[in-house]
A and B are shown apart, each in its own frame.
Chain A
């Protein structure tokens, strides 16, 4: 069984910890508790006939990625950049953030995730928001309903093993 390090990053309040908790424990809490520093947890996933241990680092949100200690990103295999689909300020810097992450962690598989899709009233509203995001959004998720959370980590795991 291979182990891989995955980091959840993005601006504060985008729902990184909620996604983390939904994936690890299949739970959701309406209360917002800001993450202090970093929290590490793990989950074993199956990719085809192979088992993979994901060591997931949920790091405290910062407005810009260069504010996060660089050392956290070292040796990372997968990066999940989370944004809030209802708050444009959480994807305002996304292009330069992604460029920065590719530079400091060139071997990582990066997935851009638009979270809180349950708060958008219609498919049209979602399409409108996605068109405004400067980089392609790989997944739209809802930590609250669990929508696409398993798929996100399953596809990330497969990409890391490829």
Chain B
């Protein structure tokens, strides 16, 4: 029944009524039509469109930029870091070329600062020595040797100083006695490690009749004097002139001859270590005083 109703044709309208309706629509929608025309003009004219939308677009862009700024690290940080890392890796040499002059400047600056400090130290030393017998001695020595006073003071500043002495059993690396100005590390461990280094070097180069005699790093040196069943290691700071080294080696020999001839180190105990340590302290302090 229902479908039948839908299929029925509508009643034909009166043409005069149609005209009337059209006029009415025209009158009623006139304002809308004008508005539509105006909007169409705005949409089709770029300058007009820009005038009306600029403020909205600007505001939205600002918001997006701000959001991007705040969330950039979390959103893009990792891939960007990876790209930078890859770029750095790829252009290592170029980077070095750029950085080398900067490093050079820094090093020059550091060296000139160190020289300045050294000069100040010498001047301080000279001031301290003014009107003292030592100053007269420097003056006299300078006149006598032709070396200027500053160089003589420099020599004095770089004079070797014994920091520690260890008497160590050669094969076991056990400490037989020691003397140290300052306690830096456990002496037993130092003795063991020195022996291990010595054993490694001697073994690695397989020179049966040759033994390690010097370990050097920066301003520190460890002089080693080997004897039959033990060795003496002297840790020094400063420059070691050949004559000082000869004197020191002679002093070590004299110590062994004077203090260790009657010693039996089959069993190493704390009593023996204590006795030897006291003797080292006495003997080498005396040697230092004689310098």
Is B188 a contact of A72 with CB atoms below 8 Å?
no
| B172 contact set on A, CB distance < 8 A | 5, 55, 74-77
Contacts of A41 in B (CB 8 A): 189
Question: For the complex, is A40 an interface residue (Cβ under 8 Å from B)?
Answer: yes
B198 to chain A, nearest CB (A): 8
Whether, in the assembled complex, B238 has its beta carbon less than 8 Å from a beta carbon of chain A, the answer is no
Check if A38 is an interface residue, CB within 8 A of chain B.
yes
Q: Does A86 contact B (CB under 8 A)?
A: no
A40 and B171 CA atoms in complex are apart in Å by 15
CB proximity to A under 8 Å, residues B3-47: none
Contact partner of A40 (CB less than 8 A), chosen from B193, B267, B269, is B193
| Residue A57, interface by CB 8 Å | yes
Bound together, the chains give a CA A53 to CA B267 distance in angstroms of: 12
With an 8 A cutoff between CB atoms, is B107 at the interface?
no
Query: Measured between C-beta atoms, what is the minimum distance from B255 to chain A in Å?
Result: 21
Q: A40-B193, A71-B203 are in contact. Are A1 and B188 (CB under 8 A)?
A: no
Interface residues of A in 72-92 (CB under 8 A from B): 72, 74-77
Complex Cα gap A74–B267 (Å):
15
Interface of B toward A, CB cutoff 8 Å: 169-175, 186, 188-189, 192-193, 196, 199-200, 202-204, 267-270, 273
A interface residues (Cβ-Cβ under 8 A, vs B): 1-3, 5, 37-38, 40-42, 53, 55, 57, 69-72, 74-77
| Supplied contacts A3-B269, A37-B200, A42-B186, 20 more A-B pairs, CB within 8 Å | A1-B270, A3-B175, A3-B188, A5-B174, A40-B192, A40-B196, A41-B189, A53-B188, A55-B173, A55-B188, A69-B200, A69-B204, A71-B171, A71-B199, A71-B202, A74-B170, A74-B172, A75-B169, A75-B170, A77-B172
